[in-house]
Amino acid sequence: MKPEYRWLSEYDKPKYWSNFSPIYFKSLPFLFGFYFNLNDNKLRKFLKKQKGKTVDLGCGNGRFLAYADLGVDFSKEMLKRAKRTGKDVLLASILDLPFRDKSFDTAFMADTSVIIKPTELKEAYNEAKRVSKNFYDFLAEDRTYMPFIMSIFQGIHLPLQITAYLALFLSFIVDRFRKLVVSRGESIC
Ligand SMILES: C[S@@+](CC[C@H](N)C(=O)[O-])C[C@H]1O[C@@H](n2cnc3c(N)ncnc32)[C@H](O)[C@@H]1O
């Protein structure tokens, strides 16, 4: 079972992400963020094993940029923070990447494909595949059941903190046994 994320019309506006940048991940209740981070280690381990030139598509503030040579994002504010990792960054849209075919050994998106307009997702995947030899698409639910369990609670209007801690408690056991789901975005291409 996969959570159904609702795509919001502001998602494809760089300004929305620039406004979000200063609080991205900081607005989460402490333990919630800590737990996400713990589960992100599955992705970190996977990315660490990749060889050659790597690009992080939709790098945001640079959460996974340590495992790439270059970060691409369409939000200036996100890139300003991503730059602090010391890695190269480039302001561009994933839908129109300014790279030659197969410029990278690996391209990855982390929690970014859900942000792209559903009708443009195929185009984004095609661009990612065009510029790289290997493309991987990762979503939060590949690392933890939290978003799925949170989505169940969405209908019940509890305060965010309570929902987050309930979801954390429930997902802990499942997450301990789950491996990282590796997706190349093949399902729709
Ligand atoms: C949810 S954030 C994830 C950021 C980062 N990958 C992480 O895991 O922390 C999604 C990012 O994708 C970027 N983004 C969304 N659509 C994009 C597009 N068409 N081209 C480039 N970046 C895009 C946003 O600016 C935002 O920084």
Domain 8-183, CATH class in plain words: alpha beta
Q: Report pTM.
A: 0.91
Mean pLDDT across the stretch 156-166?
Answer: 80
Residue 51, pLDDT score = 94
For residue 45, the 8-state DSSP code is H
pLDDT score of 3: 57
pLDDT tens digits, 74-126: 999 999 999 999 999 999 999 999 999 999 999 999 999 999 999 999 999 99
Q: Which atom of ligand 1 is nearest to the CA of 61?
A: 9
Ligand 1 site, residue 94, Cβ cutoff 6 A: yes
Distance CA 139, CA 38 (A): 15
* Distance between Cα 52 and ligand 1 center (Å): 23
- For residue 54, list its beta bridge partners: 106
| Token representation of residue 146 | 């939290």
Mutate to test the pocket of ligand 1, among 112, 119, 139, 141 (most ligand atoms within 8 A of CB): 112
Tens of pLDDT, residues 125-154: 999 999 999 999 999 889 998 888 887 877
- With a 6 Å cutoff on the Cβ, whether 65 touches ligand 1 is no
pLDDT tier for residue 165 given thresholds of 50, 70 and 90: confident
Residue 187: what pLDDT?
Answer: 59
Instruction: Give the distance (Å) from ligand 1 centre to CA of residue 83.
Output: 15
CA distances from 60 to 40, 50, 120 (A): 15, 20, 19
Please, which residues have CB within 8 angstroms of residue 160's CB and are 6 or more apart in sequence? 29
Q: Over the Cα atoms of the chain, what is R_g?
A: 16
Percentage with pLDDT > 70 across the chain: 95
- Ligand 1 pocket check: which of 18, 55, 115 to mutate, most ligand atoms within 8 Å of Cβ? 115
When pLDDT is averaged across residues 23-37 and rounded to a whole number, the result is 80
User: For atom 14 of ligand 1, which residue has the closest CA?
Assistant: 58
The rounded Å distance from CA 121 to ligand 1 centre is 13
**For the chain, what is the mean pLDDT?**
90
